Structure 1
Amino acid sequence: MARIRFYQVCIFVALLAGAAVAARRETPSILFESNYGERLESGTPEVSLWWASSGWKVSQDRVVPKRSGRSLWVELAQNEREAAQLVVRPHRALTGFTAAASPLMGPQGSQIPASCVEVLRVRYVHVERPSDGWGVAAPWPDPLPPFKEPISLAAEQNQPLWIRVYAPKGTPPGIYEGTIQLNAEGFAAETPLRVRVYGFELPDRATCTSAFGFNASTVYQYHGLADPVDQRLVLDKYWASFRDHRITPYCSTPGITPSVSWTTRSPEQCAGLRPEDARLLQENALTPVIDWAAWDREMQRTFDTFHFNSFRLGIPGITAGDYQGFPAGSRGYDLAFNAYGHAVQEHLRETGFLDEAYVYWYDEPAKADYPLVMNGFRQLKAAVPDITLMLTEQVDPELIGGPNLWCPLISYYKHDIAEERRKAGDRFWWYVCTVPKQPFPGLFTDHPGTDLRVWLWMTWKYGIEGILIWHSNLWTTGMAYPDEPQNPYEDTMSWMTGYGTKPGEKRPWGNGDGRFMYPPEIAGDARPPHPVLDGPVDSIRWEMLRDGVEDYEYLVMLKKTINQAGGTLSERQRAYYKTLLEVPVEIAADPRTYTKDPSPIERQRSRIARVIEKLLQQ
């Protein structure tokens, strides 16, 4: 897992409460921003209605905007999801509140069915200890549970609704119109929803590679699942959430691994080998026999169904003291290790999974670990020369020649150094975790809504091919909660485990760190009254990641359509279109300087979409 070795920075920042408060005085939290949104005409004297971009985190106390509008507005491509927020602010308490969407009617009788317009409830989690100086102790919006039953709304308090639209493949381009119907005891309203569908389709599989940690056992624990059939059913619902957010887990086959046995070789099988190697292979079980059947089936199923684009490959025995009974450095050790690696590599080549595999065997090495790490990479290069070797570390001269895929923290990425390594054939991902804190974009609940979306624009800006986050369903840690599991709805902090943490000790990593999905509300305390077969509750940050990956895809498609247009473009057209491939400074000038307002992102995305549409029509 990607846990930063110098976690003391996090603790230091978190414990300096006075300094954090002072920083918040100097830089007001984004939660209190009020210069956005539009009041809707469909509101009543008793219930104000307004709407905002999905990129804002709406506080419960945010006043109704003065600027007015007539409808919610969403733009998206075919096979894309996009959301807007409809904010309900009653001036008296409401009971029995429900919300539902109508079908969206489009050009020439075309329709987006109501089932493609989800209405989710924005739930707040109370931040008690801010992640950094950008946070504040207050309720922050994050979980997006579905409506299970009518709810009550408090007077003079915002209740945002997350209106998530999906335009299926083949949806005719144009403007679609429908309504969101709101009802409560003594109240009813219909709010117009307008959607523009562009004339191009996003691919099922994301171009930007992703690698996110996930713990299936935690899901089974919280959902109260013991039956393997139930476990499989629910796990697929989590994989569907990964698919719908265009994110890939480290491993899509939890609990299913190839089985390995070892055997000797016959003299005929050793023909042409060095005499000593032939003797060792005939006298010792140094040749692996691998049963791939169950693993192959599950890999093919999950990649075909959920469109994943990478997987973490384990190679046992790296830098081990002995292997198949032979000590490190011996010929028997090397024969067995290399035979296993070769068998794995060639099987992946035959099944078409070689390019998706990466070996991530060591995490964030300290300087003192570098010799061991390089020894491991030398082993791997001999055994699996065609498989990607990844390391969560910044480029260091002592590590060059080891990994061919570098994955530094965003705060440690140096573009000039990366460009030199690219010339040598190396590639780059990058990651965030409990650090860096402000002024970098992060994964925290109490950070600006734009953070994770902007991260993908930065990813494009610097020619980075993938993103990594160490966990996605960190709902509890055994150190902070040794006796009973944490309820992530009630305690939004992600607490440290390892690094000398003692049972019962609470040392903060950051609010929401490693937690992009929540268990169903009924399973929040991991003690449901019965097995819960519902899927996960998404989060605003999970949605922003998806939007960022889709923005990245827009840029990929723009580059491709410009190239395909070839000589049909004038020099002036080509020059203008190529400027759209550059990330404007208004979105991200560098990893520390980026927009906290989603408007610049949305404007640039619209420009790109219109050009893609235009070029495809030529």
Structure 2
Amino acid sequence: MRHNRISIRTSLLTIFSFTLTLAGPVGFPASAQTNGVLNDLRGGYWLAQTQDLGVWWCEGGWKVGRDREMPGQPRGQAGPVRVCAARGEYEPVQVVLRPECDGTLLEAEVSPLRQRWRTAAPITVRVDEVAYVEVKHPTDKTCQPGWYPDPLPPLRLPLALRAGQNQPLWITFHVAREARAGDYRGELKLRTTRGTVRVPLQVHVYDFTLPQETHLKSALGLGTHGINQYHHLQQPEDRKAVFEKYLGNFAEHRISPYSFYDYAPIDIRFVGEGTNRQARVDFTQFDPAAERWLDQAHFSTFQLRLRGMGGGTFHSRHLGELEGFKEGTPEFARLFQDYLSQIEAHLRARGWLSKAFTYWFDEPEPKDYEFVVDGMKRIHAAAPGIRRMLTEEPHPQLFGHVDIWCGLTPQWTPELVRQRRQAG
């Protein structure tokens, strides 16, 4: 079971970094199972072929393997790259270069998109590179070792092109909220050392606008430690600036991170002595960040970290502690309720309570259920309005103590979903 969880979580990270990933071989036709997800020939459209360079395109959901064959040339004239999007929507496609000989991409320029006899439309276009990561040890049998497309770094030219290998470009169209409905046309100019190809583009804008608020709730881990390590960031101002770029990217893709407030924490301090010791909770740093990312960027959820809560995983667990008082003592219970009830009241007053959730224990085993239930009761007693999330499938021993279930997909059935919804 734990091995399966690791596989699923790895897949989820891949999904969010690449927008969408196709499912494993289950349900694929025989040809797709033989070729694997990287060589699935069902997606893709031929665009052009010169003596030294082939160009084709596909939607953003396909994983394009380096060695995947180019789609066959259609009868008659090839169609344009077609994109359909609502006002306020981001929509990606992939334009793939496949040279016959080694070469270099020198220029990738998108012309303004226009309707006939009109000025340029408020549609922006961004071109990124689809980069590859070598997987030497697959998580499970659903994939094979090899080079997988995943990172989407900004396109930096010149870009090397290798003979017989696909090099996708990730083209993201963003339709402004004031755009007119209708069809817009432009072109993508690709200049290489193997020749120049002009790719026709067509964008259809639907006659409706996406709401500012994202109603599909999400929560994806985004750790500042990994960001700082990867980018070699040392100065506090650099760390904060780069973190905000990640948050902005999440907001553009309507994905909510666990935390937006790593550098704007809720300050919890305890003052006084003995039974007069009280919590002082300061939201001076937190509130501006919450206004920006919850109210303006419309993140749909965030994880509320609990000081002194304790926690664990199926490997091990540990008791909480506050100001030297161990979990289970009257002093701990009083201080815990004091600070957490203040946070609950503040979040409710600012309209943010419905977006907050706690996540303090990961993937419990049955041996951990009693410990988890005790912790969930403690949270509910101190702040009943704060929702409690648990990465576990529903189990009768846990019923009534979990507000948000995060279980393995195969464990969910329509009847179980109905029961949990009725229970709140």
* 2:172 match: secondary structure: strand
CA separation of 1:26/1:132 partners in 2, compared to 1, >3 Å: closer, same or farther?
A: farther
Residue number in structure 1 paired with 2:138: 130
Kept after mapping to 1: 8 A contact 2:81/2:202:
yes
| 1:353 partnered with 2:352 | yes
Aligned pairs for 1:203-218 within 5 A: 203-218=211-226
| Alignment partners' CA distance in 1, 2:323 and 2:234 | 35
Q: CA deviation at 1:67?
A: 4.1
- Cα displacement (A) at 1:297: 1.7
Q: Deviations over 1:557-603 (max 9, x none)?
A: xxxxxxxxxxxxxxxxxxxxxxxxxxxxxxxxxxxxxxxxxxxxxxx
Distance 1:86-1:328 versus aligned 2 partners, 3 A rule? closer
Structure 2: state its 5+ residue gaps: 8-24, 311-318
Q: Is the 8 A contact 1:110 1:172 kept in 2?
A: no
Which amino acid in 1 is paired with 2:279? P
Equivalent runs, 1:315-394 vs 2, <5 Å: 315-318=306-309, 320=319, 323-324=322-323, 328-394=327-393
- 1:332-481 to structure 2, matched below 5 A, reads 332-425=331-424
Matches within 5 A, 1:579-618: none
* Aligned partner letter, 1:292: F
Structure 1 residues without counterparts, runs of 5 or longer: 11-19, 265-281, 426-618
Secondary structure of the residue aligned to 1:103 is: coil
Q: Which has the higher contact order (CA 8 A, sep 6+)?
A: 1
When you count helix as a share of all residues, which structure comes out higher?
1
Q: Residue 231 of structure 1: CA displacement?
A: 1.8
d(CA) in 1 for partners of 2:126, 2:360: 40
Output the amino acid matched with 1:353. W
Larger strand percent = 2
One of 175, 195, 203 as aligned partner of 1:167: 175
- Corresponding residue pairs, total: 391
- Tell me if structure 1 keeps the 8 A contact 2:228–2:239: yes
Instruction: State the Cα distance separating 1:165 from its structure 2 match.
Output: 0.8
Match of 1:112 in 2: 121
User: Contact 1:285/1:324 (CA < 8 Å) preserved in 2?
Assistant: no
Aligned partners of 2:32 and 2:39 also within 8 Å: no
Q: By how many angstroms is 1:307 displaced?
A: 2.3
Contact 1:124 1:141 in 2 (8 A): yes
Check the 8 A contact 1:97/1:153 in 2, yes or no.
no
- CA deviations 1:318-365 (Å, max 9, x no partner) are 364664565655544433222222111111111221111111111111
Report if aligned partners of 1:259, 1:290 keep a CA contact under 8 Å in 2: yes
| Corresponding position of 1:37 | 44
Superposition map of 1:3-82 within 5 A: 5=2, 27-28=33-34, 29-40=36-47, 42-68=48-74, 69-82=78-91
Alpha-carbon offset, residue 137 of structure 1 = 2.3
Contact residue 94 and residue 152 of structure 1 kept, 8 A: yes
Which position in structure 2 is the counterpart of 1:140? Answer: 148
Match of 2:291 in 1: 300
Residues 464-503 of structure 1: per-residue CA shift (max 9 Å, x gap) = xxxxxxxxxxxxxxxxxxxxxxxxxxxxxxxxxxxxxxxx
What letter corresponds to residue 189 of structure 2 in structure 1?
Answer: Q
Give distance in 2, aligned partners of 1:330 and 1:61: 63
Over aligned residues, Cα RMSD in angstroms?
2.6
Mapped to 2, the partners of 1:6 and 1:183 lie a distance apart of 46
Q: What is the deviation of 1:119? A: 1.7
| Cα distance in 1 for residues equivalent to 2:38 and 2:135 | 12
2:260 to 213, 233, 252: 252
Task: Give runs of aligned pairs for residues 512-591 of structure 1, distance below 5 A.
Answer: none
Distance 1:79 1:127, change over 3 A: same
CA–CA separation in structure 2 for the residues paired with 1:62 and 1:105: 33
Match of 1:151 among 139, 154, 159: 159
- Cα distance in structure 1, aligned partners of 2:5 and 2:281: 43
User: Residue in 1 aligned with 2:95?
Assistant: 86
1:516 maps to what in 2? none
Describe the shift of the 1:249–1:308 C-alpha distance in structure 2 as closer, same or farther (beyond 3 A). Answer: same
Query: Offset of 1:305 from its aligned partner?
Result: 4.5
Identity, % of aligned positions: 33
Distance (whole Å) between structure 2 residues aligned to residue 345 and residue 55 of structure 1: 40
Tell me the equivalent position of 1:500.
none
SS in 1 for 2:361: coil
Alpha-carbon contact 1:96-1:183 (below 8 Å) kept: yes
**Pair 1:374–1:105, CA change in 2 (3 A):** same
Shift in CA distance, 156/388, structure 1 to aligned 2, threshold 3 Å: same
